[in-house]
A = this chain, B = another copy of it.
């Protein structure tokens, strides 16, 4: 452990990932050394209209760019690496990750044109990474719904800080990717000052089942199905993909892979040796229709009912290469991410209508298991690490809180458990921890190429426009006597269907005219008051007639 310097403190905080699911980014700072763990993205909330993705506010990091020693990646999921291209544009620091994680990252950086200028450092379970003069990171293998996931132990002069990453304990992992219980035991034995642990399933009692269970169910379904089998799952779940391929092999079926991200992940994972694909088992989508139905498995994206995904297109019979046929078996091997329930439900309905037999997790069919540990596994982690201080991470507030109670239940002193929001700094000095203010933190909204150029005003306007549309009112007044030269012309978008509402709009016209004429007679002619009066009069009338409040945009010109 490096030597303690005068009045240097240990600071731990999250820039994303606490009191939310997504955009994970955690920071550990000692003195002049800053290390970042993960750089994820989040998908927009329903009130972020038109927004594509959300990333963390990294103001603190850019303001301290000279101190940032690197970004450690725990695994290759979007909510942990998806923000990298944006972060690295503003902060060129080394990125540390395991083989598969870096493989997925490099793909992203290529697309963003950042591959050349980004230093990438390959780590494995035994790596040691020196971070500046005061900190060192080591790693331990975990089980998760993507291979090559690790937890991180950061040795600091104050003591060791452990970040679990996303984890479960799978005692029968696919491809024998066992979690390194021994390393965890060692780390715990040496002593853990602070533990940051995954809270996703803190509300779920018991143990999360092994991924192998899904393999058994898949084998069974593949065997019984007398026609084609379609399996939709998360592309990044390489273990799941492996089991689909094995079940296909065992039942004498060929596999075709459909969907950009699925093709992408399978390619990378095979190249890097995380996927064992028997020779000749993969076929092109075009070959599917030439083969006997009971010899085919279609592995595709769309397990969340995403509108543009492969499965959704098939369900709507709009996919260029594959149609769903009566008698096909469709397996949706995933649970809905909150908010997606309706989309998936619709896809399932459409598949049934096409005559397919649909097997989905709602019908507790065993075709999906979570990648996150349940309460008993969270307690196991707590007991392996026996931390002095505990910071539940990676979950909505209710999950963090439940995780905190689990911490207390295994003996962590409740005064030593910190429920934090993004930006809240936990400061540890001389073995004492306390909340010490905030660093800048928040949502950076990405809309197309725009990063952060859409703020509350724009979102409020989009919200208004989405509810009742807009009316543009155009009038030209005469410079001389202020009489109306042309207009008012009213253009409506998203308010009412004009053909059906001529009467309403004619009346609206009259109201605008009379309002303006009245004001002119009173010699009111400042732009502002003319516009405001038109807005008010028209708004009142329309609300009275329709109980709607369209945005009103008066355009008054003078000639």
Contacts and interface: CB of A to CB of B under 8 A. Distances in A.
Nearest to A462: B494
A115 interface: no
A491 interface: yes
A348 interface: yes
Nearest to A465: B465
Interface string A543-556: 00111100101010
Identical copies of this chain, number: 2
Nearest to A447: B548
Interface string A332-346: 000000110110010
Nearest to A343: B46
A243 to B, nearest CB: 25
Contacts of A180: none
A109 B110 CA distance: 64
B358 A398 contact: yes
A109 B455 CA distance: 44
A401 interface: yes
A453 interface: yes
Given A462-B466, A557-B476, A559-B476, A397 B449 contact: no
A261 to B, nearest CB: 20
Contacts of A466: 49-50, 462-463, 465-466
A408 interface: no
A466 to B, nearest CB: 3
A458 interface: yes
How many chain A residues sit at the interface, stated as a range, is 35 or more
A342 B338 contact: yes
A104 B506 CA distance: 40
A555 B474 CA distance: 8
Interface in A450-482: 450, 453-455, 457-459, 461-470, 472, 474, 476
Interface string A308-345: 00000000000000000000000000000011011001
Interface string A491-528: 10111110011000000000000000000000000000
Contacts of A348: 398
24 contacts: A45-B342, A46-B342, A50-B494, A203-B362, A339-B342, A341-B341, A349-B396, A349-B397, A352-B398, A353-B397, A449-B546, A449-B547, A450-B496, A450-B548, A453-B497, A453-B500, A453-B501, A454-B497, A455-B500, A458-B469, A458-B496, A462-B467, A472-B472, A474-B555
Interface of A: 19, 45-46, 49-50, 203, 338-339, 341-342, 345, 348-349, 352-353, 358, 362-363, 396-398, 401, 447-450, 453-455, 457-459, 461-470, 472, 474, 476, 485-486, 491, 493-497, 500-501, 545-548, 551, 553, 555, 557, 559
